[in-house]
Amino acid sequence: MVTEGIGRPEPGWVRRECTGSRRNAARLPPDWPPGSAIGPAKMKDLMSDEVFFQRLTEELSARGRLALASVVETRGSGPSRVGRRFLIFEDGGFLGTIGGGPFEALVVADAAELFREGGKTRLLKWYDFFEREIESGEPREMTNMICGGSARVLVELLKAAPSLIVLGGGHVGLALARLGRELGYEVLVADDREEYASASRYPRGVQAIRTNRDYEVPGEAVLPGRDRYVAVVTRCWETDLAALRPWLADGAPPAQYLGLIGSARKVRGVFARLEEEGVPEGRIRAVHAPIGLHIGAVTPEEIAVSILAEVTAVRRAALSVPRLESAAARDYE
């Protein structure tokens, strides 16, 4: 059931009713006896803080996001104690333990809500180890365990640094890469020209790749699980159009922001071509174009500020609807 401390429901697991449960369901083995728990002999739950947080960092970097569940309060008898924690992954796997059994399975099931788009980023809930339900004004759930106590668990969604994908490595692209790193983004710059796709052109930590003429970014270069912000700042309207297509296609990687540089006239021309190609109007209207907030930007560095100001506004939920008349960027490469 558990290998090297990483757990995942076995293929034969089924949903079983839990007595008195508010949600009344947990993924449990069909032969799992009430009140049972996974003991330390079956799971590496005695990781030091150093090892635990090292694994957290590794998993977060590889997956982009995960949930951290911590026991913050206990009452009476139970399989857990304050300070125990484990990691929960989007695919239902987990690392560590807070006590095992139906209790742990219910926490894993509840954590799934945090991975939904636009969902909560944290939850705080009591899990009871009684045969009867407790009346309370707080969120709580019975576990089908009969230890006689309760545990309160805080589950938080943790995210890796957001990803800034810059399509076009010219003057504005370089300025975006520099400022993006300062603002804490994982920056990827893509260009179809060798000299603009050289890592030596950009600050340390910026990933630079050379694409084909269609600006197709390899799937392995798009980091999983990240909040993704895409700026199209290539050298001409033809390459802008090519760079936009993959992000507006069916099955495109999700992006919280997609912006296109250029004058309003140029933008209208690119959008008209996309409409002729059959791109749905809703997807086109979601593009922030002309890119950037209106701050009177003139130089590439100022334009980069206006673009990342708009990206920040979207990221912090201060701006969500693209506004054609609000943009500041001009036809810089």
83 lies in the same domain as 138: yes
Please indicate, yes or no, if residue 136 is contained in any of the structural domains: yes
106 lies in the same domain as 8: yes
144 lies in the same domain as 186: no
Please indicate, yes or no, if residue 107 is contained in any of the structural domains: yes
Q: Can you give the pLDDT at residue 304?
A: 97
8 Å CB contact between 82 and 73: yes
Q: 167-195: per-residue pLDDT in tens?
A: 999 999 999 999 999 999 999 999 999 99
Length of the chain: 333
Please indicate, yes or no, if residue 22 is contained in any of the structural domains: yes
Please indicate, yes or no, if residue 154 is contained in any of the structural domains: yes
120 lies in the same domain as 47: yes
Residue position matching structure tokens 């034969």: 12
Please indicate, yes or no, if residue 332 is contained in any of the structural domains: no
14 lies in the same domain as 150: yes
72 lies in the same domain as 188: no
148 lies in the same domain as 133: yes
Please indicate, yes or no, if residue 182 is contained in any of the structural domains: yes
Has residue 39 got a pLDDT over 50? no
Distances in Å between the Cα of 144 and the Cα atoms of 39, 113, 286 are: 17, 22, 47
Q: Can you give the pLDDT at residue 5?
A: 43
207 lies in the same domain as 149: no
State which of 159, 191, 213 marks the end of a domain.
159
Q: Can you give the pLDDT at residue 140?
A: 54
155 lies in the same domain as 167: no
Please calculate the CA angle 163-315-266 and round it to the nearest 5 degrees.
80
> In 10 A of CB 221, how many CB atoms?
13
**Hey, what are 78's tokens?**
């139970």
Residue position matching structure tokens 């939904």: 116
State which of 108, 132, 159 marks the end of a domain.
159
CA torsion, ordered 176, 179, 185, 188, to nearest 10 deg: 30
Please calculate the CA angle 284-290-295 and round it to the nearest 5 degrees.
145
Has residue 298 got a pLDDT over 70? yes
First-to-last alpha carbon distance for the chain, in angstroms, is 55
Give the count of alpha carbons within 13 A of 121, CB side only: 3
19 lies in the same domain as 129: yes
**Hey, what are 141's tokens?**
């759930």
Q: Can you give the pLDDT at residue 46?
A: 55
Rounded CA-CA distance 48/45 in Å is 9
Q: 60-85: per-residue pLDDT in tens?
A: 999 999 999 999 998 877 777 899 99
Q: Domain of 91? A: 2-159
3-class secondary-structure state, position 203: coil
98 lies in the same domain as 33: yes
Q: Can you give the pLDDT at residue 126?
A: 87
CA torsion, ordered 79, 83, 89, 95, to nearest 10 deg: -70
238 lies in the same domain as 301: yes
Per-residue pLDDT band for 100 (boundaries 50, 70, 90) equals confident
Q: What is the mean pLDDT of the chain?
A: 81
**Hey, what are 264's tokens?**
């309003």
Number of domains in the chain: 2
Domain CATH code at residue 205: 3.40.50.720
Please indicate, yes or no, if residue 331 is contained in any of the structural domains: no
Please indicate, yes or no, if residue 333 is contained in any of the structural domains: no
State which of 135, 159, 183 marks the end of a domain.
159
Residue bearing the bigger pLDDT, 134 or 275 = 275
